[in-house]
Amino acid sequence: MQSELSGTQAGPQEPQHKALIPEVKARPAPGAAALLAGHPAAVISAVLLEINPGFAQDILSELPGGLVDGVMHTVSSEIALQWQRNRTYPQGSVGRLMEPAYAVFHPAMTVAQTVERLRALIRIAFITYGYVIDEGGKLCGLITMRDLLFAADDARLDSLMLRDVFTLEPGTPLNEAMKSVLDRHYPVYPVCDGSGVLIGLVRGQAMFEEQTIEITAQVGTAFGVEKEERLVTPIGQSFKFRHPWLQFNLLTAFVAGAVVAIFQDTVDRLVILALFLPVLAGQSGNTGGQALAVTLRGLTLGELKKGSEKILISKEAWLGFYNGALTGLVAGLGMLFVALYQDNPDAVLLSVVVWMALVGACITSGICGAMIPLTLKRMGLDPATASTIFLTTATDVVSMGMLLGLATIFIR
């Protein structure tokens, strides 16, 4: 990430901090902080200035307080103030990604005055746009470099600036901000508070980089892998991240095993059912996984509007019915073939039981695949967090319970 002040830390330490950047980026925030903690404050600040601002904030929060103070003293007052301000905003918000807005001008300034000031600013910062503010700091307009290049030297900024500038608010969640900028593709977005006062800017690259990390982390969180884990995470830390969820998964597996134990007499009497338990569990699990993937995607992209949850659940239930009816037909025929081959007198009834169980399991798994992330979100939790573990438990219990339960009822 090219920082606004990437040129401020030049000197003999530059090769050292440049070499650290790839390793820092490859680690989660705690690991990156541990790596940087053994270096001078000037090196740490140089690294933080060249990585994603949101990630830099996460690293700062992991560093010891005394070292943070040292880092703050090695950067400009504007950067230090911006970092302190950013830390007051919640994780995953636009405010965590802000950088200082240096190219700030007043409406009455002329083009010549603005260009003269820009000559000094570009030595310490990467300037994309100029921002015109009033006496109270409210954003009035935006100046492009092209407009300055072709305007007369005595032209005032208020006659050149673009009005009705698109802005972001610092407290806006990143996923909401991403939805609003998808059709704009500006390199930089001004950030204003509720009163319209310009408090910083956020780069499009930083937003997309942060969102990319979030999206790729969803695959892991669905299976209980922490977002902070990377390929280079030490084995001990990876073990701490993963093992608790595996223990929880084992506990839920016992629940599924308990269902089989309840119908032990039926299994002993109709051993042929054991052949089709994994078939039903796998098929219903895939059905639920499809519903889960679509629901998570809808939540991430903001496609799921308030009040449309019932429609989604109903759709997934009907899809479960249709898919279960057709796949259940194939599974039922498979059961019929196996039962006839074994000269089982209840061959036809067993095939009907398999069909009914698979239809019921697919309907339930579709509903669970939609409801689990919706429920987690309503509880204020990450919808992707270990959702697959909860879904697997639900589908295993329902599929096995339905097959064994229906066989117990219909086959005496």
Q: How far apart are the first and last CA of the chain?
A: 69
Claim to verify: residue 75 and residue 159 sit in the same structural domain:
no
Claim to verify: residue 83 and residue 59 sit in the same structural domain:
yes
Phi and psi angles of residue 142, each rounded to the nearest 5 degrees, phi first: -130, 140
Q: What is the per-residue pLDDT for 349?
A: 92
E strands, 156-307, are 188-192, 198-203
Contacts 24+ apart (CB under 8 A), 327-332: 327/283, 327/358, 327/362, 328/354, 328/355, 328/356, 328/357, 328/358, 328/359, 328/362, 329/355, 331/276, 331/279, 331/280, 331/283, 331/355, 331/358, 332/358
The predicted model gives 244-270 an average pLDDT of 81
Tell whether 165 is covered by a domain.
Answer: yes
Count of beta carbons in the 10 Å neighbourhood of residue 398: 26
Count structural domains, the chain. Answer: 3
The predicted model gives 80-95 an average pLDDT of 87
The b-or-e profile of 40-75 (16+ CB within 10 A means b, else e) is bbbbbbbbbbbbbbbbbbbbbebbeeebbebbbebb
Instruction: Identify whether the C-beta of residue 373 lies closer than 8 Å to the C-beta of residue 384.
Output: yes
Lowest mean pLDDT among 47-51, 365-369, 381-385: 381-385
Q: Confidence class of residue 382 from pLDDT cuts 50, 70 and 90?
A: low
Tell whether 113 is covered by a domain.
Answer: yes
Claim to verify: residue 240 and residue 363 sit in the same structural domain:
yes
Count of beta carbons in the 10 Å neighbourhood of residue 23: 14
For residue 39, how many C-alpha atoms fall within 13 Å in the half-sphere facing its CB?
23
Claim to verify: residue 191 and residue 275 sit in the same structural domain:
no
pLDDT digits 0-9 by tens, 234-251: 777 777 777 777 787 788
Tell whether 227 is covered by a domain.
Answer: no
CA–CA distance, 351 with 368 (Å, rounded to integer): 26
Claim to verify: residue 302 and residue 328 sit in the same structural domain:
yes
Instruction: Identify whether the C-beta of residue 36 lies closer than 8 Å to the C-beta of residue 85.
Output: no
pLDDT digits 0-9 by tens, 19-42: 888 888 878 788 888 889 888 898
Tell whether 130 is covered by a domain.
Answer: yes
What Å distances lie between residue 253 and 67, 155, 259, 284, 394, CA to CA? 46, 74, 10, 16, 10
Nearest to 228 by CA among 27, 19, 80, 4: 27
Q: What is the per-residue pLDDT for 86?
A: 87
Amino acid (one-letter) located at 338: V
DSSP-assigned letter for residue 105: E
Nearest to 357 by CA among 410, 304, 312, 298: 410
The predicted model gives 151-172 an average pLDDT of 93
Tell whether 225 is covered by a domain.
Answer: no
Claim to verify: residue 301 and residue 162 sit in the same structural domain:
no
Tell whether 169 is covered by a domain.
Answer: yes
Better-scored residue on pLDDT, 218 or 251: 251
Q: What is the per-residue pLDDT for 161?
A: 94
Helix intervals (H) in 263-346: 264-269, 277-301, 309-341
Q: What is the per-residue pLDDT for 4?
A: 40
What share of the chain in percent tops pLDDT 70?
88
Sequence-separated (6 or more) residues with CB below 8 Å from residue 79? 4, 5, 49, 100
Claim to verify: residue 120 and residue 178 sit in the same structural domain:
yes
E strands, 24-107, are 104-105
Claim to verify: residue 406 and residue 261 sit in the same structural domain:
yes
What CATH number is attached to the domain comprising 342? 1.10.357.20
Nearest to 346 by CA among 399, 406, 401, 398: 406
CA 157 to chain centre: 40
Which residue range is the domain that position 200 belongs to? 104-205
Which of 28-42, 62-76, 313-327: highest mean pLDDT? 313-327
Claim to verify: residue 149 and residue 186 sit in the same structural domain:
yes
Claim to verify: residue 275 and residue 182 sit in the same structural domain:
no
Q: Is residue 233 predicted with pLDDT exceeding 80?
A: no
Q: What is the per-residue pLDDT for 213?
A: 52
The predicted model gives 77-82 an average pLDDT of 88
DSSP-assigned letter for residue 283: H
